[in-house]
């Protein structure tokens, strides 16, 4: 299958897509096809407010690289990726999104081996390291994410305990 330059660009994987891959393949497909309900989500807005309130003094916020945006980075002997999240309900997705950012920075020859996920409302944080086996898992996930993005229609709805809080809930419930 021959893809155009625009189609190849669309296949670049975003950190959000890694998270959605863990959470829900349907959400991943919808998001990757331009159906983005997050901008209407109170939870997303609250997350932005939390990040700004707790980390307003961080000099390197919302660091963008190609197809992804890191909440903030710490610069020292090496770069440390920092992500800010509202709750730990989707912690596994948060961990893999952060590992994806570390992986992508390493791929670009940036000296980065670790990250931190901050849950400021819970006064908790998780230190993240990227192992060699994690890199294999990320490469496998990237391949599968691209497969989902290339589907001609979204995957079927799979009901999960957290669906009712999802910005796509009403769309999927139809």
Q: What is the pLDDT along the chain (174 residues), one digit of tens a residue?
A: 555 555 545 579 999 999 999 999 999 999 999 988 766 666 667 777 777 778 888 888 888 888 789 999 999 999 999 999 999 999 999 999 999 999 999 999 999 999 999 999 999 999 999 999 999 999 999 999 999 999 999 999 999 998 988 888 888 876
User: Cβ(130)–Cβ(136) under 8 Å?
Assistant: no
pTM of the full structure:
0.88
Note the pLDDT of residue 10: 58
Q: Where are the domains of the chain?
A: 5-173
Tokens 């391949």, residue located: 143
The CATH number of domain 5-173 is 3.90.320.10: yes
Dihedral pair phi/psi, residue 79, rounded to 5°: -80, 140
pLDDT of residue 15: 93
Residue 170: exposure state from Cβ atoms within 10 A (0-12, 13-18, ≥19): exposed
Both tokens assigned to 107:
């791929």
Residue with tokens 């910005």: 167
What pLDDT is attached to residue 51? 78
Q: Is 163 exposed, middle or buried (0-12, 13-18, 19+ CB in 10 A)?
A: middle
- Which residue shows structure tokens 């990227």? 130
Give the integer Cα–Cα distance in Å for 66 and 60: 16
> How far is the C-alpha of 71 from the C-alpha of 145, rounded, in Å?
22
């Amino acid at each position: 299958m021959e893809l155009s330059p625009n189609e190849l660009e669309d296949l670049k994987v975003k950190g959000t897509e890694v998270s959605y891959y863990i959470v829900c393949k349907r959400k991943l497909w919808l998001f990757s096809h331009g159906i983005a309900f997050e901008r209407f989500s109170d939870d997303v807005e609250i997350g932005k407010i939390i990040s700004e309130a707790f980390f307003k003094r961080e000099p390197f916020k919302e660091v963008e690289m190609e197809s992804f945006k890191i909440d903030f980075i710490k610069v020292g002997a090496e770069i440390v990726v920092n992500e800010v999240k509202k709750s730990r309900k989707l912690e596994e997705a948060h961990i893999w999104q952060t590992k994806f950012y570390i992986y992508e920075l390493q791929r670009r020859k940036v000296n980065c081996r670790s990250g931190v996920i901050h849950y400021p409302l819970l006064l908790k944080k998780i230190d993240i390291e990227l192992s060699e086996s994690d890199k294999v898992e990320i490469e496998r996930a990237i391949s599968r994410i691209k497969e989902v993005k290339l589907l001609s229609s979204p995957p079927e709805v799979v009901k999960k305990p957290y669906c009712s809080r999802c910005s796509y809930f009403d769309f999927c419930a139809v």
